[in-house]
Every structure is written in C-alpha cells, then in structure tokens.
Structure 1
Amino acid sequence: MWRELASEFTDVELQDPATPDSLTVVEEQLGQPLPEALRQLLLETDGIKADYGTEVVWAAEKILEENRSVRSNEEFRSLYMPFDALMFFGDNGGGDQFAFVRTPDRADVFVWDHETDSRIWVAPSLKQYLRNTLGSDGDDWYR
C-alpha cells in the first residue's frame, strides 16, 4: 500500500524494507510503540526521500537516533517543551520535524517548528501527511 501511494508522485526514492527486529529495537529503546501506520510503512520501505533528498519519512535507525537525541539533549531541555510524548519520524529539510503524539496515542501528524517550539496539527493520518508533503512543490505546505 505505502509503496503504491508514494509511487503516485515524482522524484520519490524508496528504500529496502526495515526488518521487524529493527522496529522492535526502536520501540524498546524509545519505550513506546511505533504507530501502526508507521510500522507498516517501514516494513515496506525503510524511509521515503522526496525532492532534493528531503527525508519525509526517516529510516528506522534515524527515527531512533533523532528521538533519543532530542530527548537527551540538555540544552534542548532548557529551550523547549519536553519531547517525550512525541515520536519524530521525518523532516522538511529546513529544521522543522514531523511527529506523532504517542501519549496519548494519536494517529494525527504534527509539525514541530524548531524556531518557535510550536507543535501544530498538520494531518489526520500518515497517509494524508504523505499526500500533502509529496504533492507539494517543495514549499512548507503545512504553514
């Protein structure tokens, strides 16, 4: 399903699937399950890149690295609201990152603006997020 959706758009690069074991590691290390839609996407393609290499969905390993990084960064703790309830999974190539709210568990996608620390709802699902971001002209479609 996810490969077919992504292939509707031009300049999309898909990866080999992630392994179930690699996704289990991400969940164990972050202490929260992956949203089911994200899990299924990663089992079909371990990340999606769009125009200019923008990682609209990160590989499982990067999801783990980026979430661990923002949660453990001492400087971020003094600058931003906590990130523990979020699971980041992609970015716009300019610093803003996309996330699911994991506590409470939601299927909606939010954007975190790295300049203002705002967390704004942008899509009701991963599917709609992909349609919005892959169908845009590279601009910040969510603003």
Structure 2
Amino acid sequence: MWRELTEQFDGVEPGHPATEQDLLDLELQLGQTLPTPLRELLLECNGVVDEDGTDVVWNAAHIGLNNAEFRTSESLRTLYMPFDALMFFGDNGGGDQFAFVCTPQRPDVFVWDHENDSRTWVVADLEQYLHRALSHAGEDWYR
C-alpha cells in the first residue's frame, strides 16, 4: 500500500524495505513501539524522499538517531520543551520536523517548528501526511 501510494508522485524515491529486526532494534532504542502505520511503511519502504531531496519520511536508522538526540541532548533540553511524548519521523528540509504523539499514542501528525518550539497539528494520519507532503511544492506546505 505505502510503496504504491508514494510511487503515484513524480520524482519520489521510496527506500528499500526495512527488516523486522531493524524495527525491533529501533523500538528497543526508543523504548516504545512504533505507530502501526509508520511500522508498516518502513517495512515496505524504509524512508521516502521527495523530488526535491527532502526526507519526507526518514529511514529507521535516522528515526532512531534523531529521536535519541532530541530526547537526551542537554543543550536542546535547555532550549525547548521536552520531546519525550513525540516520535519524529520526517522533516520539511528547512528545519521543521514531523512527529506522532506517542503519549498517549494517536494517529495524528504534528509539526514541530524549530524557530518557536510550537507543536501544531497538521493532518489526521500518515496517509494524509504523505498525500499533502508529496503533492505540494515547497517546504512550508503545511502552513
């Protein structure tokens, strides 16, 4: 389903599938389970890059590294509200990042604005996120 969805858009490059072990390792690293739609997407295409080269959905390794940094960096902790309730999974190429809220877990996608630390609802689920992110040009499609 996810690969077929992403291939509807010109210039989009879905990654090679992640393995089940990749995702189990990621969940262990994060200390939480992946939202089901994200898990399913990663098993079909481990990341999605749009025609401009933006990582609309990161691969499993990037998800792990980025979330670990945001949850443990002392310098980020002094600048921003805590990130523990969020699971970042993609970006806009300009600094803003997209996330699921994992505490409590919900299907909605939010954007974190790196300039003002706001966390704003964007769409109701990952499928809507992909449709909007891949069909609108420019890094601020969600505004």
| TM-score, with structure 1 as normaliser | 0.98
* Unpaired runs of at least 5, structure 1: none
Matching of residue 63 in structure 1 with residue 63 in structure 2: yes
Structure 1 counterpart of 2:121: 121
Aligned length: 143
Report the residue type matching 1:2 in the other structure.
W
Cα separation, 1, equivalents of 2:64 and 2:132? 24
Deviation digits for residues 81-113 of structure 1, max 9, x if unmatched?
A: 000000000000000000000000010000000
Deviations 1:56-94 (A, max 9, x none): 000000000000011111011111000000000000000
Q: Structure 1 residue runs of 4+, over 4 Å off?
A: none
In structure 1, what is the Cα distance between the partners aligned to 2:138 and 2:99?
A: 19
Map of 1:111 onto structure 2? 111
1:100 and 2:100 correspond: yes
Alignment of 1:38-57 (within 5 A): 38-57=38-57
Segments of 5+ residues of structure 2 without an aligned counterpart are none
How far apart, in 2, do the equivalents of 1:79 and 1:136 lie?
31
Note the aligned Cα RMSD (angstroms).
0.7
Tell me which residue corresponds to 2:26.
26
CA distance in 2, matches of 1:29, 1:137: 34
Q: Shift of residue 137 of structure 1?
A: 1.2
Q: Cα offset for 1:52?
A: 2.1
Q: What SS is found at the alignment partner of 2:106?
A: strand
Q: How does 1:65-80 map to 2 (within 5 A)?
A: 65-80=65-80
Shift of 1:51: 2.2
Q: Is 1:133–1:141's contact at 8 Å kept on the other side of the alignment?
A: yes
Q: Percent identity?
A: 60
